[in-house]
């Protein structure tokens, strides 16, 4: 029997966690690409608009190369020397599971704040 | 700011990255940097970020950090880095060990700890030499098989470099091993495990690891042939290691052979640990009153620092010597509005 080291599903989210210091930028990049293919500068601007975070170029490409090596994104044909990237099925699965886990944490935190704290 | 000066700045920033990375991402990364420069001409954070990420990419290419572009190539690079670290460790260790082994043939140490230290270091040297031979066999086999298939051109220069430098070190080591004061005698040969000839050969091969370099007047009294040997033998050792590491990176090694090489790397790691224990034992035993032959001097303390650095580099590379698996997942992009969104 052949065993895949990272079967689909639960392990796909784990794969995002294995990116270590890049897991933050990775989730932002995957979220941006969920909207459609983008090149480096378009990713930077999109992430800045929805997350208020500007990824530095080195950090962005470090995360892009790791995501590509993990099979979560793939490079498309280069246009005007700018290469767009698009989300893969693996990346979509990993992002979905990762964000659901994040949402669960956010829901618990917000519920507890609502019960115990009055915020202006 | 002109487009030409922007291009020049981008070129300087790209230089932080290794050639393999630049070949894959260089063009698109340069465009991103040009866009960034257009929006924010000067920011030290961008320069620091590019420098740090570029250095990490270089470390990944050498198998010393995770997430390289090509995991299989990085696994081979990690093994090559382990080989280089083990070679640096072995050369420094051999200089230290052969000096003690020769000393033991001429003099009886007062502290029994010194004899035990040398026994540990001798066992470790035997492990390291065995590991080197075991690692070389499949590598040589792969190189020969590649050459037989007619694809051996990239391996030719490193193979020639490895062979020529190994021959130079063996012939030179044999020539000089008994031509140096203290390396030819066997007065107390029963005192040690090591045959005098073996100790003398390693001593001659690592003759350049010496504090004589700090005393030019004493060095000037040496015969010209020995001075030439002391200058050329480190270059030959470096050429040997570089050639072997290049072969390891370029040869098409099967996954099975890679697993075997990882096992040999573990064996070399064990040898390094045993040697470090022996060297530590020697340092603790060689207190005040120790005979000159067994005293640990500045060159030996520097040698211990090299051993520690080589051991740490080897440990770091060992963590990355295994190719990382790539995940697989199942999801499909959302189709037309009527199609269900399927994200598993």
Residues whose CB falls within 8 Å of the CB of residue B297, separated by 6 or more in sequence, listed in order = B211
B133 pLDDT more than 60: yes
Give the model's confidence band at B338: pLDDT under 50 very low, under 70 low, under 90 confident, else very high.
very low
The stretches of chain B forming alpha helices (DSSP H) are 3-14, 19-39, 44-61, 71-106, 112-148, 153-176, 196-205, 216-220, 224-250, 255-285, 298-318
Residue B45 has pLDDT above 50, yes or no: yes
Q: How close does chain A come to B273, measured CA to CA in Å? A: 30
- Please give the Cα distance from B10 to B33 (Å, whole number): 6
Of A6, A22, A41, the CB nearest to B327: A6
Tell me the pLDDT of chain B averaged across its residues.
Answer: 81
pLDDT at A95: 92
Q: Which helix (H) or strand (E) holds A27?
A: helix A23-33
Give the model's confidence band at B336: pLDDT under 50 very low, under 70 low, under 90 confident, else very high: very low
* Chain B: residue whose CA lies nearest to A68: B69
Half-sphere exposure of B86 (CA within 13 A, CB side): 31
| Per-residue pLDDT tens digits for B165-185 | 999 999 998 888 776 555 555
- Spatial contact of A63 and A29, defined as CB atoms under 8 Å apart: yes
Nearest to B327 among A61, A71, A81 (CB): A71
Nearest by Cα to B105 from B209, B182, B176, B174: B182
pLDDT tens profile B50-66:
999 999 888 887 777 76
Cα distances (Å, whole numbers) of residue B105 to B67, B197, B293: 50, 11, 10
Q: Do B80 and B248 meet the contact criterion of CB atoms below 8 Å apart?
A: yes
Average pLDDT across chain A, whole number = 83
Within 8 A of A85 by CB-CB distance, chain B residues are: none
Residues ≥6 apart with Cβ < 8 Å to A83: A39, A40, A75, A76, A77, B27, B28
Cα within 13 Å of Cα(B75), Cβ side: 19
Q: How many CB pairs under 8 A join A and B?
A: 128
Inter-CA distances, B320 with A22, A51, B232, Å: 18, 33, 34
pLDDT band at residue A52 under the 50/70/90 scheme: very high
pLDDT > 60? residue A6: no
Min Cα separation A77/chain B (Å): 11
Please state, for a pLDDT cut of 90, what percent of chain B lies above it: 24
Q: What are phi and psi of B110, to 5 degrees?
A: -75, -40
Cα dist. A36→A20, A48, B299 in Å? 25, 16, 61
Among the ranges given (B168-182, B183-197, B220-234), the one the predictor scored with the smallest mean pLDDT: B183-197
Answer whether residue A48 shows pLDDT above 80: yes
| Full set of structural domains in chain A with CATH | 11-116 (1.10.10.10)
Q: Identify the residue among B34, B59, B328 best suited for mutation to test binding to A, counting A beta carbons within 10 A and taking the highest.
A: B328
Residue B270 burial by Cβ neighbours in a 10 Å radius (0-12, 13-18, 19+) = middle
**Comparing B24-33, B121-130, B147-156, which segment has the lowest mean pLDDT?**
B147-156
- pLDDT at residue B339, rounded to an integer: 38
* B189/A97: higher pLDDT: A97
pLDDT band at B316 (very low <50, low <70, confident <90, very high): confident
Residue A113 to residue B131: CA distance in whole angstroms? 61
Q: Mean per-residue pLDDT for B6-25?
A: 91
- pLDDT the model gives residue B294: 72
Instruction: Using the predicted structure, report yes or no on whether residue B101 has a pLDDT greater than 70.
Output: yes
Closest partner CB to B327 (pick from A12, A56, A58): A12
Query: Is the separation of the CB atoms in A60 and A40 below 8 Å?
Result: yes
Q: Which residues contact A117 (CB under 8 A, 6 or more apart)?
A: none
Which pair of structure tokens corresponds to residue B268? 């070399």
Using only C-alpha atoms, chain B has a radius of gyration, in whole angstroms, of: 26
Domain-by-domain residue ranges, chain B? Answer: 3-58, 71-318
pLDDT band at A2 (very low <50, low <70, confident <90, very high): very low
Question: Mean pLDDT, to the nearest integer, of A37-49?
Answer: 94
**Contacts with A89 from chain B: Cβ below 8 Å:** 329-333
Interval A60-85: pLDDT, tens? 999 999 899 888 999 999 888 899 99
Per-residue pLDDT at B341: 43
pLDDT (average), residues B13-35:
92
Query: pLDDT confidence of B110, banded at 50, 70, 90?
Result: low
Report residue B19 as tokens: 């050639």
Give the per-residue pLDDT at B261: 85
Look up the ipTM and state it.
0.80
Question: Which is higher by pLDDT, B199 or B237?
Answer: B237
């Amino acid at each position: 029997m052949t065993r895949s080291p990272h079967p689909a599903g639960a392990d796909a989210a784990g794969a995002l966690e294995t990116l270590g210091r890049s897991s933050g930028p990775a989730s932002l990049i995957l979220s941006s690409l969920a909207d459609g293919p983008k090149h480096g500068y378009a990713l930077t601007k999109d992430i800045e608009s929805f997350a208020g975070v500007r990824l530095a170029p080195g950090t962005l490409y470090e995360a892009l190369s790791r995501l590509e090596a993990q099979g979560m994104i793939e490079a498309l044909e280069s246009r005007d020397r700018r290469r767009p990237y698009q989300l893969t099925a693996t990346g979509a699965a990993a992002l979905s599971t990762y964000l659901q886990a994040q949402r669960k944490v956010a829901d618990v935190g917000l519920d507890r704040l609502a019960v115990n704290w009055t915020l202006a | 700011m002109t487009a030409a000066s922007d291009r020049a700045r981008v070129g300087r920033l790209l230089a932080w990255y290794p050639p393999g990375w630049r070949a894959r991402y260089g063009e698109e990364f340069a465009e991103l940097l040009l866009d960034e420069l257009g929006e924010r001409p000067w920011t030290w954070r961008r320069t620091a970020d590019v420098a740090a990420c570029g250095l990490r990419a270089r470390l990944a290419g050498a198998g010393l950090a995770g997430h390289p572009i090509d995991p299989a190539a990085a696994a081979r690079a990690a093994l090559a880095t382990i080989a280089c670290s083990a070679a640096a460790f072995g050369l420094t260790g051999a200089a230290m060990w052969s000096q003690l082994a020769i000393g033991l043939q001429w003099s009886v140490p007062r502290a029994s700890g010194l004899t035990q230290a040398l026994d540990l270091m001798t066992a470790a040297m035997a492990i390291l030499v065995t590991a080197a031979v075991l690692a070389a066999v499949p590598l040589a086999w792969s190189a020969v098989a590649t050459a037989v298939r007619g694809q051996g051109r990239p391996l030719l220069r490193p193979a020639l470099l490895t062979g020529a430098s190994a021959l130079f070190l063996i012939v030179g080591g044999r020539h000089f091993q008994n031509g140096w004061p203290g390396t030819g005698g066997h007065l107390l040969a029963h005192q040690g495990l090591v045959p005098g000839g073996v100790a003398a050969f390693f001593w001659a091969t690592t003759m350049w690891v010496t504090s004589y370099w700090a005393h030019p007047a004493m060095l000037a009294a040496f015969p010209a042939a020995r001075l030439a040997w002391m200058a050329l033998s480190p270059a030959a050792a470096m050429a040997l290691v570089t050639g072997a590491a290049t072969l390891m990176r370029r040869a098409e090694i099967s996954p099975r052979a890679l697993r075997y090489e990882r096992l040999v790397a573990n064996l070399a790691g064990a040898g390094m640990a045993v040697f470090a224990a022996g060297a530590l034992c020697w340092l603790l035993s060689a207190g005040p009153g120790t005979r000159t032959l067994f005293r640990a001097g500045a060159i030996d303390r520097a040698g211990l620092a090299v051993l520690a650095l080589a051991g740490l580099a080897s440990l770091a590379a060992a963590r990355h010597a295994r190719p990382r698996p790539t995940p697989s997942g199942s999801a499909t992009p959302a189709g037309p509005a009527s199609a269900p969104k399927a994200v598993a």
